[in-house]
Amino acid sequence: MLHRPPAPQVSRSPPPLHHPIPTHPHYAIPDPPATPLDAHSPHPKGQQGQQQGQQAGGYMRYTSSPMQPQAGFSPPPSYGGQQGYQPLGDMGGIGNMGMAGMSAPHMGNMGIPPTQQQSVQGMQMWGVNDATAAMGMQFGQSAMRAGQDYLDKNFSIHVPLPLIRHQFNVSNSYVLHKLRLLVFPWRHRPWARKPKQSDTGAQADGWQPPREDVNSPDLYIPTMALVTYILLSALQTGLQSRFHPEVLGVVASKALAVLLIEFLSIKLGCYLLNIQEHGQVMDLVAYGGYKFVGVIFTMLVGLLQLGRSVYWLTFLYAFCATAFFLLRSLRQVVLPDASAAPSNVTVTSAQRGRRIQFLFMIAVSQLLYMWILAWV
Amino acid sequence: MAFSLGTLIYVSLLLVNAIAILNEERFLARIGLSTQSPAAYPTGFDQAYNDPSSGGGSGSGPSVRTQLVNLIGAVRTLLRLPLIAVNVVVIAYELVLG
């Protein structure tokens, strides 16, 4: 366009040059005053050409004037900031400025105000970021939910959580009553557990929680008794000045091994005697754990240094109490009552005799277990 | 202080090994615990615990011996391959760290 000052002379030039240039010179030649700068009309052609050149320059300036500040302030603070948000925005500031200078005139030519354009672009970029973040969040949430489901499913398969919750549903009065029962079980009369009464009045399969029924086994007392037993044996070894931190682990391992042996032997006996039991794993563990109460009682007496005979008498008494308690409590596991049991299980007299023997063996084996436990 | 969970694991592993190596023809059949002939040879051991009227699980559920036969058969069938792996692991552990 800067070739236009000599345009009047070159008006006859071949069309390929004229083609991209506006064809005003044709009409500009007859009446130069037609231009807005008509006030200076009495000018020579060269001046007029200069004027037009000026005008063209002005026009150029006009078109370029929005571009000029653009290129000057090419990285506006917000724009640069948004450039920084781009994951691949590791280009230097110069590259940024070049990018902005390149893109800004295009925007100016498109006629959209640059600030709006930038804001639109920024919103797009923010939108992209939001979508990515939302997708990531959703993915994370779904992964976490899947993991939670997996954990819940497998955990509930391997560990019967409702049963455990049922076993820990205790109250203060129950715990006191049960401890009294474990230490002195001779005068307790009804040993049968209370079945759970459903709303319809019919007998539902299930038992009332320990809070309601003192004969129900719980896991609270065995757990606490196990921990107390471990600490108490640590105290005993400490009083004999042979404490070592390893004692805690050894004692815990021994206690768990005893529990496991008893549980396995009861399970094996139940299998061999074909005793139907449903969902009573936790009950058996609980009944096995009650022996710790007697062991703790014995150890407390032993800590009082009252002599060997008192200690052994206490041990024997605790064994008898625990054995009697188990005899009474496991009776309904091994020998279901004819009235309470479902009718499809019939126990013959021979089976009954064998089961009573098995029950008696369980009770007597408490002597071995408690001796292993009390001998720290 | 040797009585702990580790000992218990060893004992149970050895017991299961002992059950798994019982020979069907040479040993189990002779004491009447074979899977093929459950009630063929009642011995004194079975007489003490097993009522003849309820033998073989005819009347009121399987007897002690039937359950025992089932248990031994299940252990010998089911636990053979896992026992090999567990034994290899335990032997390696004992060789390295025992």
Q: Is B1 on the interface with A (CB under 8 A)?
A: yes
Q: pTM here?
A: 0.60
Q: Are residues A173 and A313 in the same domain?
A: yes
Q: Look at residue A283 and tell me if it is in a domain.
A: yes
Nearest CB partner across the interface for A256, out of B5, B61, B64:
B5
> What would the mean pLDDT of B20-47 be, rounded to a whole number?
65
Q: Look at residue A89 and tell me if it is in a domain.
A: no
Asked if the Cβ–Cβ distance from A253 to B4 is below 8 Å, we say yes
Q: Give A234 to chain B, closest Cα distance, Å.
A: 14
Chain A residues with beta carbon closer than 8 angstroms to that of B68: 272
Asked if the Cβ–Cβ distance from B64 to A354 is below 8 Å, we say yes
Q: Look at residue A151 and tell me if it is in a domain.
A: no
Q: Which residue in B has a C-alpha nearest to residue A369's C-alpha?
A: B3
Alpha-carbon radius of gyration of chain A? 48
Chain A residues with beta carbon closer than 8 angstroms to that of B1: 250, 254
Chain B residues with beta carbon closer than 8 angstroms to that of A256: 5
More confident residue, A264 or A151: A264
Asked if the Cβ–Cβ distance from A260 to B61 is below 8 Å, we say no
Q: Which residue in A has a C-alpha nearest to residue B10's C-alpha?
A: A257
Q: Report pLDDT for A156.
A: 61
Domain range summary for chain B, segments of one domain joined by +: 5-97
Q: Give A334 to chain B, closest Cα distance, Å.
A: 15
% of chain A with per-residue pLDDT over 70: 58
Q: Is B52 on the interface with A (CB under 8 A)?
A: no
Q: Look at residue A137 and tell me if it is in a domain.
A: no
DSSP secondary structure letter of residue A279: S
Q: Report pLDDT for A31.
A: 60
Q: Which residue in A has a C-alpha nearest to residue B50's C-alpha?
A: A350
| Extended strands (E) in A57-211 | 195-197, 203-207
Q: Report pLDDT for A320.
A: 93
Asked if the Cβ–Cβ distance from A260 to B49 is below 8 Å, we say no
Question: Mean pLDDT highest for which of A12-26, A149-163, A245-259?
Answer: A245-259
- Which band of pLDDT confidence, cut at 50, 70 and 90, is reported for residue A128? low
Residue A289 scores a pLDDT above 60: yes
Q: Look at residue A302 and tell me if it is in a domain.
A: yes
> CA angle at residue A240 from A235 to A242, to 5 degrees?
85
Q: A311, A374 in Cβ contact below 8 A?
A: no
Residues of A in CB contact (< 8 Å) with B are: 250, 253-254, 256-257, 260-261, 264, 271-274, 346-348, 350-351, 354, 372
Q: A328, A375 in Cβ contact below 8 A?
A: no
Residue A89 scores a pLDDT above 60: no
More confident residue, A81 or A196: A196
Q: Look at residue A328 and tell me if it is in a domain.
A: yes
Over residues A148-157, the pLDDT tens digits come to: 887 777 666 6
Residue A90 scores a pLDDT above 60: no
Q: Look at residue A107 and tell me if it is in a domain.
A: no
More confident residue, A189 or B78: B78
What residue numbers bound the domain in which A19 lies?
1-32
- Which band of pLDDT confidence, cut at 50, 70 and 90, is reported for residue B22? confident
Q: How many domains is chain A partitioned into structurally?
A: 2
Q: What is the 3-state secondary structure (H, E, C) of B24-58?
A: HHHHHCCCCCCCCCCCCCCCHHHHHHCCHHHHHHC
Chain A residues with beta carbon closer than 8 angstroms to that of B7: 257
Asked if the Cβ–Cβ distance from A351 to B60 is below 8 Å, we say yes
Residue A33 scores a pLDDT above 90: no
A 10 A CB-CB count for A187 gives: 6
Q: Give A274 to chain B, closest Cα distance, Å.
A: 7
Q: A213, A279 in Cβ contact below 8 A?
A: no
Q: Give A270 to chain B, closest Cα distance, Å.
A: 10
* Residue of A236, A345, A351, A352 best to disrupt the B interface, most CBs of B under 10 A: A351
Q: Report pLDDT for B13.
A: 92
Chain A residues with beta carbon closer than 8 angstroms to that of B61: 274, 351
CA A174 to CA A230: how far, in whole Å? 24
Asked if the Cβ–Cβ distance from B5 to A347 is below 8 Å, we say no
Q: Are residues A309 and A166 in the same domain?
A: yes
Q: Look at residue A83 and tell me if it is in a domain.
A: no
**Burial class (CB within 10 angstroms; exposed 0-12, middle 13-18, buried 19+) of B1:** exposed
Q: Is B6 on the interface with A (CB under 8 A)?
A: yes
What is the average pLDDT score of chain A? 72
Alpha helix locations (H) across A159-244?
A: 161-167, 172-183, 220-239
Which string of DSSP letters, residue by residue, matches A50-63?
Answer: HHHHHHHHHHHHHH
Question: Mean pLDDT highest for which of A134-148, A151-165, A175-189?
Answer: A175-189
State the residue for tokens 């567990």. Answer: B86
Q: A376, A233 in Cβ contact below 8 A?
A: yes
More confident residue, A15 or A60: A15
Nearest CB partner across the interface for B8, out of A257, A272, A350:
A257
CA A30 to CA A37: how far, in whole Å? 15
- Which band of pLDDT confidence, cut at 50, 70 and 90, is reported for residue A86? very low
* Residue of A254, A265, A344, A347 best to disrupt the B interface, most CBs of B under 10 A: A254
Asked if the Cβ–Cβ distance from A254 to B67 is below 8 Å, we say no
Strands A203-207 and A195-197: antiparallel
A191: nearest Cα among A340, A20, A349: A340
